[in-house]
Amino acid sequence: MRPIEQRALQAYREQFLAEPILVASAPGRVNLIGEHTDYNGGFVLPCAIGKRVAIAIGLSQSTLFYSADFEERCPLLEKREGSWADYPSGIVRAMKDRGFDIQHVRCAFAGDVPLGSGLSSSAAIEAATAIALDALFHLEIEKRDLAVLCQHAENAFVGVNSGIMDQYASLLCQAGTALLVDCRSLEARQVPLNLAEAHLALLVCDTHVSRELGATGYNERRQACERAAHILDVKDLRDAHLDDLDKLSSEDRKRATHVVTENARVLQAVLALQRQDFGAFGRLMYASHRSLRDDYEVSTPELDAFVEIAIQTSALGARLTGAGFGGCAIALVRSEDTGVLTMNVRHYFEARGFKQPEFFSFHPETGAEVVK
């Protein structure tokens, strides 16, 4: 069992003075490329990271959630409260709404996915709850259906209009691979990512810039995409071509340009990974960042600075990851260069008066699983 799963187990024992029936966990994610494409019916390429939310679960007289991180108990919520308990409540309700026979449970949660950093701590708690309930009540729901259920819970109960990427990544990713998802057909395919063999590392930089204002920006971007698809008379922007975009207003044209070019980059990135051409893969990451900065306009000075310093440090590629408006950036670097890149970024951020960033390297991890 991983330490975080031990913590959830221990919290359950202490809170409920009993043994749980099972322990499960689900990871956060980093998206390698394919940003703001999921809600446009396009492609994404995320990986699971080694930071997870764990759950210990057992039967009970009435449903009760405990968070070891917030040291707080909470009953099953009727409606959104703006707290961590929204997520498990949303999942229980979504399962009941679909007619699954869910009895009362008590759960203890523990997690080490940073909150509000764009690493999908919310998808991780949703996926962990969903996989634990599925196993406990022998529901045998397929992981991709669990992901769709989690997304519905997030949209309907939590009230965030996100796409399918985060929940898919948390449930379906596997160790050593990235996950190519066609967000229209919902087909997913593992793409091997042998970084260690190539002496490469993926470095994540958490800029610690809160993404709170991002919710408005995210919804605005979604609306611009829907407007553009409507004007172009296509189902989703996935179906648009660069030549068609002249019909759009200048702002909508920029947004659509990002989506159309980003979708193409994801498919090229997968081909690059298949031929182990990490140089080409990295160039696509840089191109993705420029597009997110100039056309989609979701970058920040901190994220741009990280990418500039990555270029100067000869990283193979770098880009913001997740929704943008703060949060994290990633770089693909030679393993021996991670130290110098983090040092250069720290110095620059300090000199500019930015918040001190946090770094971690990761290898693609296993998705949601029951561990005990």
In the complex, minimum distance from the CB of residue 29 to ligand GLA, in angstroms, rounded to a whole number: 9
Residue 351: other Cβ atoms inside 10 A:
8
- In whole angstroms, the minimum distance from the beta carbon of 85 to ligand GLA comes to 20
Binding-site member from 68, 165, 202, 245 for ligand GLA (CB under 6 A): 165
Q: Which is catalytic among the residues 38, 166, 252, 337?
A: 166
Closer to ligand GLA by CB, 15 or 210: give it. 210
Q: Which of 114, 163, 364, 367 binds ligand GLA (CB under 6 A)?
A: 163
158 versus 371: smaller Cβ distance to ligand GLA = 158
Query: Is 294 designated active site?
Result: no
Instruction: Give the three-state DSSP class for 364.
Output: coil
Query: How far is the C-alpha of 47 from the C-alpha of 168, rounded, in Å?
Result: 10
Residue 275 Cβ, how far from ligand GLA at the closest point, in Å?
25
Contact between 286 and 307 under an 8 Å Cβ cutoff? The reply is: yes
User: Strand, coil or helix: what is 47?
Assistant: strand
Measured CA to CA, the distance from residue 269 to residue 281 in angstroms comes to 5
Residue pair 202/331 in contact (Cβ under 8 Å)? The answer is: yes
Site string for ligand GLA, 283-322 (x = CB under 6 A): ---------------------------------------x
Name which position in 67, 162, 288, 300 contacts ligand GLA (CB under 6 A).
Answer: 162
Q: Which is nearer to ligand GLA, 116 or 176 (CB)?
A: 116
Q: Give yes or no for residue 166 binding ligand GLA (CB under 6 A).
A: yes
Interface residue with ligand GLA among 323, 330, 331, 341 (CB under 6 A) is 323
Q: Does 36 bind ligand GLA (CB under 6 A)?
A: yes
Nearest distance from residue 118's CB to ligand GLA, in Å?
Answer: 6
Q: How many angstroms separate the CA atoms of 136 and 154, rounded?
A: 22
Could you give the residue ranges of the DSSP H alpha helices within 295-337?
Answer: 301-312
Pairing outcome for strands 177-182 and 187-192: antiparallel
129 within 8 A of 87, measured Cβ to Cβ: yes
86 binds ligand GLA (CB under 6 A): no
- Taking the C-alpha atoms of residue 365 and residue 100, their distance in angstroms, rounded to an integer, is 30
The residue (of 74 and 127) whose beta carbon lies closer to ligand GLA is 127
Of 77 and 323, CB closest to ligand GLA: 323
Which long-range contacts link 162-165 to residues 24+ away (Cβ below 8 Å)?
162/39, 162/218, 163/38, 163/39, 164/38, 165/29, 165/31, 165/34, 165/38, 165/44, 165/46
| Span interacting with ligand GLA, options 14-22, 95-103, 159-167, 235-243, rule CB under 6 A | 159-167
Give the dihedral sign, CA 368/369/371/372.
positive
Q: Which of 5, 38, 252, 337 binds ligand GLA (CB under 6 A)?
A: 38
Q: How far apart are CA 185 and CA 329, in angstroms?
A: 28
In this chain, which stretch among 105-113, 133-141, 162-170, 331-339 interacts with ligand GLA, using CB under 6 A?
Answer: 162-170
The least distance separating ligand GLA from the CB of residue 138, rounded to whole angstroms, comes to 30
Name which of 223, 309, 215, 225 is nearest 260 in CA terms: 225
Quick one: 36 or 254, whose CB is closer to ligand GLA? Answer: 36
Contact residues: ligand GLA, CB under 6 A:
35-36, 38-39, 162-163, 165-166, 322-323
List, by residue number, the catalytic residues. 166
